[in-house]
Amino acid sequence: MSTSNPIRKKKNPMPKFLRKLMQNPSFARIFFKTQAFVFKNTKGLFMSTITGYPICVVTMTGVKTGKLRSIPIMYVPYKEGVLIVASKGGADDHPSWYWNLRSNPEVEVILKGDKFKSEAKRITDEDKDLLWPLICDAFPNYKKYQEATERNIPVFNCQPST
């Protein structure tokens, strides 16, 4: 198990007015759809961070619609793949993509221009306890998010399929 983390925050390139707009759920939804589109089509050259932290784009099947959904998600490098955290900023409910992964765990991950297929596996509570320091090292706010909610924030392990 690797414990070193090469992710380091870059200066938040998002202007203050845009951060304020992101508090509106309708605007945020459009922004993230646009971000996923730009990221995928530029192979990660543009719109490759959220608040200064690097993202991957995870394409999954929607649980209600059956349509493919591409979601920009901050990630933690782990083994050959990534860990993704369903934090929703410490909200008391899961992000909508959590339900997609739970029902349809087969995903495609785009990371730094590379793609790989994976089965998103929710890690056990025991593994989460072991990996939580690595996860919080990558994005320190995850600790605050977990403290802000009574729900156990889920973590998914996405490793390339063989």
Domains and CATH numbers, the chain: 16-158 (2.30.110.10)
In this predicted structure, what is the pLDDT of residue 104?
97
Region for residue 51 given its phi and psi (left: phi exceeds 0; alpha: psi -120 to 50; beta: otherwise)? left
How far apart, in whole angstroms, are the C-alpha atoms of residue 59 and residue 156?
14
What is the CA angle 24-101-55, rounded to 5? 55
* Amino acid 1: pLDDT: 46
pLDDT along the chain (162 residues), means of 10: 51 60 72 78 75 88 95 94 94 93 97 93 97 95 93 97 86
What was the pLDDT predicted at 95? Answer: 92
Structure tokens at 124: 């056990």
CA 114 from centre of chain: 16
Residue 84 has φ and ψ, to the nearest 5°, of -125, 145
3 state SS of 42 = coil
Give the global pTM: 0.80
CA gap 108, 89 in Å, rounded: 24
Distance of alpha carbon 96 from alpha carbon 147, whole angstroms: 21
**Beta strand pairing call for 155-158 and 81-85:** antiparallel
